[in-house]
Amino acid sequence: MKKIKMLVVLCACAIVSCACAQVEAPIVVDMEDVAASIFGEKEEETDKEDKKASGEATEADEKDDKSDTKENGFAFADVKGIKFIYSGAGWRTELEIDKNGKFTGIYQDYDMGKKGDGYEGVVYYSQFSGEFTKPEKVNDTTYSVQIKSIKYPLGQSKKIVNETLYAYSKAPGVDGSKMFYFYLPGTKYGDLPKEYIEQVESVDADLLKKDTIQFYGLYHKGEKEGFIGYETESDYAKAEGILKEAGTAVMELKTQRANAKTQQEVNMLTYEMYQEWDVALNHVWSILEDTLDEKIYAKVLKEEQNWIEKKRTMKKNVQNKFDGVYMAPFVMYSEAAEMTEERAYELLEYLK
């Protein structure tokens, strides 16, 4: 199967830009501040892993670990390394599945024009993990599974950070009914629900140029929500690509800033440059979080917390020094952008 490369399009920045145009000065959506509150501890080991560590694993446990052997033409091992994405304008749910049918994922959405008591802008976010039941054959290219279990470590709560409301919630695409269908490469369009075809067309119509799909699909039957499976690059290549895209976007913003006619325009464009690096850094961090072993992760986490505190101190110093000066946002966002770019590339080194 020809590898499908995904261009990650983050609509959040465009939404933020629109929101900024309606206020006197840009709003800082500092995702690292939120990340610091949810970095926490890694996922706990499963009961089976605990048994293995203590030497108490049973034959049934060991046998279950070999569930990646292919039966009836499809196994979860076939989609290991595939990222399933369900997305719309400015939001996305993504999940990955291991060889035993256990999955992890995130959901994120941005509404930076929404205001309320103590906040201007909302970020909806979710982390989840769970397990699918064993695949059951429907036909040669379709297999059904159900969600056996699912949990949301962050729960459902809200908190305000830097005048932005962060709402932790359940995730579209996995919330609701339990029945899912896997569609294998080679599935004919006639075997696909029209709702799934419409969703794929809305994301990338080029994926449907042939008579059959050339990717793995995942369809949430009861909710009529569809995921597209993308083959993933190496962690380093993926993170490097994210930073290169951010750098390209920042260069374009610099060009726009050079032609800006007012200080307000300069401030807003500088803020958007910072936001590009901020979002990119958090994507790199999420890759690191899933990649590093426990000891190295603990070391990098401490570094990250110290760096976040250093950036907060910088912002306070700039605000105190330029209190009441209209160009203060330009100075603060310029320094924040430079610091964030530098830190993002430092994190990239851990993926080599």
Per-residue pLDDT tens digits for 96-129 = 998 899 999 999 998 877 888 889 889 899 999 9
Written as six digits, the tokens of 224 are 């009529």
CB 132 within 8 A of CB 76: yes
pTM: 0.52
Shared domain for 240 and 224, answered yes or no, is no
Q: Kindly report which listed range (1-5, 85-89, 118-122, 258-262) carries the lowest average pLDDT score.
A: 1-5
Shared domain for 176 and 194, answered yes or no, is yes
CB 199 within 8 A of CB 173: no
Written as six digits, the tokens of 232 are 């993933």
User: Using CA atoms, how far apart are residues 285 and 98, in angstroms rounded to an integer?
Assistant: 21
Q: Kindly report which listed range (160-164, 295-299, 302-306) carries the lowest average pLDDT score.
A: 160-164
The packing angle between helices 328-349 and 294-321, to 10°, is 170
304 occurs within a structural domain: yes
- Residue 231 pairs in a beta bridge with 82
Q: What is the residue whose two structure tokens read 């446990």?
A: 61
Q: Using CA of residue 344, residue 128, residue 34, residue 6, what is the dihedral sign?
A: positive
Per-residue pLDDT tens digits for 212-237 = 999 999 999 999 999 999 987 778 88
Q: How confident is the model at residue 70 (pLDDT cuts 50, 70, 90)?
A: low
206 occurs within a structural domain: yes
Shared domain for 120 and 187, answered yes or no, is yes
Shared domain for 179 and 209, answered yes or no, is yes
What is the distance of C-alpha 316 from the center of its chain? 29
What pairing do the DSSP bridges indicate for beta strands 82-88 and 136-139?
unpaired
Per-residue pLDDT tens digits for 289-303 = 878 888 899 999 999
10 occurs within a structural domain: no
User: Using CA atoms, how far apart are residues 130 and 138, in angstroms rounded to an integer?
Assistant: 23
Shared domain for 99 and 218, answered yes or no, is yes
Angle at 111 between CA 39 and CA 276, to 5 degrees: 60
Which domain does 285 fall in, by range? 235-349
Shared domain for 179 and 78, answered yes or no, is yes
Q: Kindly report which listed range (71-75, 104-108, 140-144, 243-247) carries the lowest average pLDDT score.
A: 71-75
263 occurs within a structural domain: yes
168 occurs within a structural domain: yes
Shared domain for 262 and 290, answered yes or no, is yes
Instruction: Please tell me the predicted confidence (pLDDT) of residue 128.
Output: 95
50 occurs within a structural domain: no
Shared domain for 205 and 272, answered yes or no, is no
**Mean pLDDT: which of 18-22, 45-49, 165-169, 234-238 is highest?**
165-169
Beta strand segments in the chain, E: 82-88, 91-97, 102-116, 119-132, 136-139, 142-151, 157-161, 164-168, 179-183, 217-220, 225-231
